[in-house]
Amino acid sequence: MPYATACALLLTLPVLPLPSATAPADALWSAAPAGRDRPSFYAEGAPGTVLRDTLAVTNRGTRPLTVRLRATGLPITLAGAALRVPARTRAEVPFTLTVPDAAPGDRSATIVVRAADGGEATVRLLLRVGGPRLAALTVEHVAVGARRITYELVNRGTTVLVPRLAVRADGVLGTVLDRAPRTLPVRLAPGGRLRLDEPWPNRPVLDAVTVRLTATASGGARATGTASVRFVPWRTAAGTTAGALLLAATPVAVRRRRRRTTAERPLPQVGPT
């Protein structure tokens, strides 16, 4: 039987009449994956694969139920956008999911069922895109600013990363900053980029420093980013430079003054012999 015909039959035929037990007023209807007792859908496949599953809408009330259905987050095609479920009946709605052309890893979506009276139920769908799993990241754009170090972490792999970061800075006379690796409070999705910073309030006053940030993550991901910076006390340096210029100019001024004094001194008078 063609798939479209099967979908039409499942939408129009009420199935599995329910017992006449009274349901609580706040649970007159529900939506869930059909078949086994599953709290959500789970699917796995390579990019381009078309997967099939079924949503069940259960009406425990004594009146017919009309609902509208929509999917968000992934390319899901429902057999119908609207459904009328008779009283005390469960109806099933087939749907297809086309695995997107994306990097291997986990994705999620939802199927939203909304009743005419405003009630709403949401069913989650978890998808794992197949393919090789690769953990890779880079540390980019490291820079030392006012009292902090800024940088960017980029996930170059296909898995979600929770990175760890170590910070080290070496000056002319030795290490001036050394922070042991610690787990950052971030989750970096494949292809994601985060701009972060590290506080550094006690920077050297006078030094030439190389800053090195080393990021690691599970799966063997490791990357290092560096930046070089010179710390100079500009006020002191400016005063020292001015003093040096003054000292260098003093002999010239003295020589000029001496020449002016010599030029202004009157010549001795020479009388007849």
Token pair, residue 79, equals 């057999």
Query: Under a CB-based contact definition with an 8 Å cutoff, are residues 33 and 54 in contact?
Result: yes
pLDDT at 251: 52
Residue 177 to residues 90, 159, 166, 213: CA-CA distances in angstroms? 66, 31, 10, 11
Query: Under a CB-based contact definition with an 8 Å cutoff, are residues 142 and 225 in contact?
Result: yes
Clarify whether residues 101 and 156 are in a common domain.
no
Give the domain range for residue 211. 137-231
Mean pLDDT of all residues belonging to the chain: 82
pLDDT at 36: 79
Clarify whether residues 149 and 84 are in a common domain.
no
pLDDT at 256: 52
pLDDT at 3 over 80: no
Residue 268 lies in a domain: no
Residue 270 lies in a domain: no
Q: For residue 93, what is the domain's CATH number?
A: 2.60.40.10
Residue 254 lies in a domain: no
pLDDT at 233 over 90: no
Query: Under a CB-based contact definition with an 8 Å cutoff, are residues 137 and 221 in contact?
Result: yes
pLDDT at 237: 53
How many separate domains does the chain show?
Answer: 2
Chain centroid to CA 250: how far? 62
Clarify whether residues 144 and 93 are in a common domain.
no
pLDDT at 155: 95
Clarify whether residues 104 and 163 are in a common domain.
no
Q: Which of 129, 163, 187 is the last residue of a domain?
A: 129
Average confidence (pLDDT) over 194-216: 96
As a whole number of angstroms, the distance between CA 109 and CA 11 comes to 22
Residue 109 lies in a domain: yes
Clarify whether residues 103 and 220 are in a common domain.
no
Clarify whether residues 189 and 172 are in a common domain.
yes
Clarify whether residues 124 and 208 are in a common domain.
no
pLDDT at 14: 38
pLDDT at 259: 53
Total residues belonging to the chain: 273
Average confidence (pLDDT) over 147-176: 95
Considering 30-39, 59-68, 95-104, the range whose residues carry the highest mean pLDDT is 59-68
Residue 71 lies in a domain: yes
Clarify whether residues 81 and 190 are in a common domain.
no
Clarify whether residues 36 and 113 are in a common domain.
yes
Clarify whether residues 112 and 207 are in a common domain.
no
pLDDT at 6 over 80: no
pLDDT at 132: 82
Considering 24-28, 133-137, 138-142, the range whose residues carry the highest mean pLDDT is 138-142
Clarify whether residues 13 and 104 are in a common domain.
yes
pLDDT at 70: 96
pLDDT at 223 over 90: yes
Residues 6+ apart with CB under 8 A from 249: none
Clarify whether residues 18 and 111 are in a common domain.
yes
Token pair, residue 19, equals 């017992």
pLDDT at 182 over 90: yes
pLDDT at 37: 85
Residues 6+ apart with CB under 8 A from 45: 51, 99, 127, 129, 130
pLDDT at 90 over 70: yes
Residue 261 lies in a domain: no
Confidence band, pLDDT 50/70/90 cuts, at residue 192: very high
